[in-house]
Amino acid sequence: MGKVTELAEYSDDRGNSIAFDGTLGGKISITFKGRNNRIIAPKGARIEYLNVNFDCDNGTLILGANTEVGGIKAAIRIGQDATVKFGDNVNMTGHCMITAVEGCTVSFGDDVMMAQENQFRTDDAHPIFDVTTGKRINTARDVTIGNHVWFANGAVALAGARVGDGSVIGFRSLVTGKISNNCIAVGSPARVTRRNIAWERPHLSLVPPFYKPDVSTVEKSAYWALTEGDEPVVRRRTLVRRLRDASVAFTR
């Protein structure tokens, strides 16, 4: 087992490697338990906290450049033949957790913003089987996050989640399927409550002007678009009622 405490050019006799033109130290811990695992990072990578465990063989972590926003703060577990991939200018307010196993991929597009306590998982960590057939029922699946997606505090994406460009995933929401582009989705499981939205990074209290009533107060990004498809919209009141009724039924 090899352990590395900085992001720098590296290779060992088991085929594990780091390709990076530079050196980043600090809160970095990379553990290679298997063989032929690799990290690929551009010169502009920015790391605030990174804990990576390559548990098996043939795992890949691809980092992006962070030239405009804060850096990566993540605990990442990569299993057999699995990949975690970041686009450019991905950042987290607090630490997030990412796991990929069984040949699956967790991928993030460019300009993704995460709050804290977020998780992105291709798997449930342990297998669950159907007693009558012996078949596995919680198979691992890819998680794909598009460009310019905002995950609010505590929001989670599980196996099979796909979020389109420009969307917002609300506070403590759980994504298990497809969310279209330029939507707001909330709840558990997450459902679209608003279509045809666009969001921008300037903070309401940290970046002037301190009232932002319309788009003239910010610089528009490239991610303004109408929502594609005919995915139904669940109104907030309906969604809250459904979640409340489900909670009542569960406690009876």
Supply the pLDDT for residue 135. Answer: 98
pTM of the complete model: 0.91
Tell me the HSE value of 85 on the side-chain side, using a 13 A CA sphere.
15
Sheet of 72-78, strand order: 2-4, 28-32, 47-54, 72-78, 96-100, 119-121, 156-157, 174-175
Supply the pLDDT for residue 251. Answer: 40
Supply the pLDDT for residue 234. Answer: 77
Tell me the pairing of strands 47-54 and 17-24. unpaired
Supply the pLDDT for residue 239. Answer: 62
Supply the pLDDT for residue 155. Answer: 98
Distance CA 191, CA 178 (A): 9
Supply the pLDDT for residue 241. Answer: 63
* Residue 45: C-alpha distances to residues 28, 70, 73, 240 (Å): 13, 10, 12, 40
- Specify the CATH number for 2-251; select among 2.40.110.10, 2.160.10.10, 3.30.390.50, 3.30.360.10: 2.160.10.10
Residuewise pLDDT in 10s, the chain (252 residues): 899 999 999 999 999 999 999 888 889 999 999 999 999 999 999 999 999 999 999 999 999 999 877 889 999 999 999 999 999 999 999 999 999 999 999 999 999 999 999 999 999 999 999 999 999 999 999 999 999 999 999 999 999 999 999 999 999 999 999 999 999 999 999 999 999 999 999 999 999 999 999 999 999 999 999 999 866 787 766 666 665 654 444 344
